[in-house]
Amino acid sequence: MPTKPESVTGNDTVIDVRDLSVHFGLRGSTLARLFGRDAGTVKAVDGVDLALRRGEVVGLVGESGSGKSTLGRALLGLVPITSGNVVFEGRDVGRMGRRELREVRSDIAMVFQDPNAALNPAMTVEVAVGDALRVQGVTSETERRERVVDALERVGLSPVELFLAKYPRDLSGGQKQRVVMARAIINSPTVLVADEPISMLDMSVRAKILQLMLDLKRDLDLSYVYITHDLASAKFFCDRIAIMYLGRIVEIGDTEEIFAHPRHPYTRALLKAIPDPDPARSVPRDLPRGEIPDAASPPLGCAFHPRCPVATATCGWESRDLRSLLEEHWTRRDAETYERERALVGDLDHLDTPATTARIGSGPPDQVRALLERIRAENPDEPLWQGVSEITEDGSGVVVRFHEGEDPDLRPAGGAEVACVLYGDDQG
């Protein structure tokens, strides 16, 4: 059985991403637009540096909303670049015109997640795969057919005659993904950006498609950007892995290093969350709470701090975290206690505006303070409390002040680079 290919050494960079940002403007309401009010932006990709070397497989791993797909699309100029550069063979993809982009897309090809959506149901396999040639200006039908046959053979769809006239509906999921692969390689690209190429497929088919990708890489001398949420397949498939969270790379390094010494708390959490078919391993209990936050209004400081089990005082604690704390507390209280405490705390919605000072309460300040102290006593290890610098009584409530947060940059740590206050230049 094939084993993992040897890592490629050398520094032959194919694609160089420098400080790339892709921001999307939100539309907002009609009224807001009329008055020119800004509805905010979503920083889908926010200052990312990444180099893809020749013959390498780089994995972009993260949950939905982490920006991994947007980053992948930016490599082909499929999304408008806000700032920074994507340099392919010395040219900046972000500054290319339509004609140049079309040329680049024969060198950098893309495979999408859902083979059902990627294939036109009205096109036969021959037309669908040949269409990529037509777009690139191959007008001779004989040449097109020859190259289609060649591509289909390469992706294992043989005897080819059986498949040429078939429609997507006649094919299984795995076969469809092979057709998508054939279309991607037909213009002899040097780079393939594969966005979740196996996650829609059945377990027993996934290995087949990954094997196909390894074969194609060897035969066609390809480099891959492999986008996935699945750390297990990334571990097998990638030479290097970038873990993404809310538009940023939070940890990047050689696959072996990332798995042997995961450093960022988010990487650790992802590793713990993979369900293991080995029944001897038990369910991990200490998973991070919550979900990926709203990208239009990311947390202050480190974007992962609200979910981080090891967050420190300077990770960016703020008013919204206080709201989550209270709400979480109420999931452990009976209805009566909830009603009473809720009345004491009063309005919560104003906490949704991020701030390092939060005012709560609509009752005797000492009672509000006592409530907070009770919540703290229940779980003194809750990281939020480290972030509180002081609680002062004020009128009919209290004011909670948090320490100013820090938004960590990627810094070298051991054999990888990590964006976390726990890791500095001098720590391993």
Partner 1 sequence: MELVDEVSGNRQPEPVISARDVRVWYGTTRGAIRAVDGVSFDLMPGETLGLVGESGCGKSTLGRGLMGLLPTGAKRDGEVVFKGRDVFSMSAKEAYALRGHELGMIFQEPLTRLNPLMRISEHFEETIRQHEPRLPRAEVQQRAFEVLRVMGIPPTRYRSYPHEFSGGMRQRLMIALALVLRPAFVVADEPTTALDVLVEAQIVGILNDLRRTFDTSLLLITHNVGIVAEACDRVAVMYAGRIVEQGAVADVLGNPQHPYTRELLRSTISLSTTGLEFIPGSPPDLVDPPAGCRFHPRCPDAMQVCAVKDPVDVERPGGGRVECWLRGPEDLVPEGGTRPLKQEELTVADEA
Residue closer to partner 1 by CB (options 87, 205) is: 205
Q: Spell out the residues 6+ positions from residue 329 whose beta carbon is closer than 8 angstroms to its own.
A: 375, 378
- Please name which of 226, 224, 173, 217 lies closest in space to residue 195, comparing C-alpha atoms: 226
Q: Does 145 bind partner 1 (CB under 8 A)?
A: no
Shortest gap between Cβ of 387 and partner 1 (angstroms)?
A: 21
Q: Spell out the residues 6+ positions from residue 337 whose beta carbon is closer than 8 angstroms to its own.
A: none
Q: Does 230 bind partner 1 (CB under 8 A)?
A: yes
- Please name which of 157, 113, 18 lies closest in space to residue 75, comparing C-alpha atoms: 18
- Near partner 1 by CB under 8 A: residue from 190, 233, 255, 356: 233
**For residues 61 and 241, is the Cβ–Cβ distance under 8 A?**
yes
Shortest gap between Cβ of 271 and partner 1 (angstroms)?
A: 8
- Near partner 1 by CB under 8 A: residue from 17, 184, 269, 368: 269
Shortest gap between Cβ of 51 and partner 1 (angstroms)?
A: 26
Q: Number of C-alpha atoms within 13 angstroms, CB side, residue 362?
A: 8
Q: Does 261 bind partner 1 (CB under 8 A)?
A: no
The structure tokens listed for 398 are 């209290």
- Near partner 1 by CB under 8 A: residue from 43, 183, 235, 320: 235
Q: Does 273 bind partner 1 (CB under 8 A)?
A: yes
Count other C-beta atoms under 10 Å from residue 202's C-beta: 11
Q: Does 156 bind partner 1 (CB under 8 A)?
A: yes
Q: Does 169 bind partner 1 (CB under 8 A)?
A: no
CA dihedral 117, 123, 128, 133 (to 10 degrees): -130
Q: Does 260 bind partner 1 (CB under 8 A)?
A: no
- Near partner 1 by CB under 8 A: residue from 76, 210, 222, 322: 210
Residue closer to partner 1 by CB (options 176, 403) is: 176
Q: Does 70 bind partner 1 (CB under 8 A)?
A: no
Residue closer to partner 1 by CB (options 110, 155) is: 155
* Of 19-27, 35-43, 44-52, 266-274: span binding partner 1 (CB under 8 A): 266-274
Q: Number of C-alpha atoms within 13 angstroms, CB side, residue 152?
A: 26
Is the bond leading into 2 cis (omega within 30 degrees of zero)? no
Residue closer to partner 1 by CB (options 173, 415) is: 173
Mark out the alpha helices in 221-273 (DSSP H runs): 231-237, 255-260, 265-273
H or E segment at 153? helix 141-154
Shortest gap between Cβ of 388 and partner 1 (angstroms)?
A: 21
Q: Spell out the residues 6+ positions from residue 386 whose beta carbon is closer than 8 angstroms to its own.
A: 311, 312, 313, 317
Residues that bind partner 1 (CB under 8 A): 1-4, 63-64, 156-159, 162-163, 172-175, 202-208, 210-211, 214, 229-233, 235-236, 259, 269-285, 287-289, 291-292, 327-328, 330-333, 335, 338, 342, 348
